[in-house]
Amino acid sequence: MKFFIDTADLDEIRDLAATGLIDGATTNPSLVAKAGRKFEDIIAEICEILPGPVSAEVTATDTETMVSEGRKLAKIAANVTIKVPLTPEGLKACKMLSGEGTKVNVTLCFSAGQAILAAKSGATFVSPFIGRLDDIGLRGMDLIDDICTIFRAQAAFKTEVLVASIRSVGHVIEAAKLGAHVVTIPPSVLRALYHHPLTDKGLAAFLADWETTGQSILDDKDSASSAAAE
């Protein structure tokens, strides 16, 4: 399962890219507004930091303008993926841009029927928003289950399920169990994935016990030889 980072905050992206775990990024107009910088500059910088797919969303609502915006954004870098909304106009734009060889992420998917339409339109990714379904009292993860089942049953569908609107570590684990291709994770949730109180407690105990031995694994000789190697 691929990990995308769901933010337009360049400091966060730089920091988390250093983990070596990030395969791409997703942005949306709300995240860009929060970042407070020129959209194209943000996308260009993210594309330099991360070699994988970086989603940049169109803001027009008619097909022709969406396609023009998509073509312009796609020129920023080879790894730009164009994000279009799951509307009839957006899916027409998806078909046209995909036909030109541009990767397309169809966003704002809230039903299995919509996901089927995105796959039929040649989308590279479809983004079901699970957190927003949970917010209205539904089970977002049931939608991921349905879409993964359908895509497995339909060999002709090449679209990847990109689980979006993730709110918790549990969402990431459930998406992995269901076989989703990609999760796009907010930085706070990605950091939370590392943590378990027993890891902290266990490490503190190991280090305290090690201290009592008075030993160290590296000695002066090791420091000298590593300095020489540099």
Nearest to 21 by CA among 172, 170, 151: 172
- Of residues 21 through 50, those in contact with ligand E4P by CB under 6 A are 26, 28
Query: Hey, which bits of the chain come out as E strands?
Result: 2-6, 24-26, 54-57, 80-85, 104-109, 125-128, 160-163, 182-185
| Complex with ligand E4P: residue 123 or 164, whichever CB lies closer | 164
Distance in Å, CB of 157 to ligand E4P, minimum: 20
144: Cα within 13 Å, side-chain hemisphere: 29
- Which of 2, 71, 120, 132 is the binder for ligand E4P (CB under 6 A)? 132
Q: Does 124 bind ligand E4P (CB under 6 A)?
A: no
Binding residues for ligand E4P, how many (CB under 6 A)? 11
Contact 10, 45 (CB under 8 A): yes
Distance in Å, CB of 135 to ligand E4P, minimum: 8
- Which of 165, 172, 182, 183 is the binder for ligand E4P (CB under 6 A)? 165
Per this entry, what is the length of the chain?
Answer: 230
- Of residues 93 through 122, those in contact with ligand E4P by CB under 6 A are 107
Contact 56, 83 (CB under 8 A): yes
- Which of 131, 168, 169, 193 is the binder for ligand E4P (CB under 6 A)? 131
Q: Which active-site residues does the annotation give?
A: 83
- Which of 63, 81, 102, 127 is the binder for ligand E4P (CB under 6 A)? 127
DSSP letter (8 states) at residue 168:
S
Taking the C-alpha atoms of residue 88 and residue 98, their distance in angstroms, rounded to an integer, is 15
Taking the C-alpha atoms of residue 157 and residue 150, their distance in angstroms, rounded to an integer, is 9
Q: Does 159 bind ligand E4P (CB under 6 A)?
A: no
Distance in Å, CB of 225 to ligand E4P, minimum: 48
Distance in Å, CB of 186 to ligand E4P, minimum: 7
Distance in Å, CB of 88 to ligand E4P, minimum: 20
Helix pair angle (10-17, 39-49), 10° resolution: 10
Residues of the chain by 3-state class (helix, strand, coil), percent to 5: 55, 15, 30
Q: Near ligand E4P by CB under 6 A, which window of 37-45, 126-134, 138-146, 198-206? A: 126-134
**Residues of the shown chain interacting with ligand E4P in the complex, contacts defined by CB under 6 A:** 6, 26, 28, 107, 127, 129, 131-132, 164-165, 184
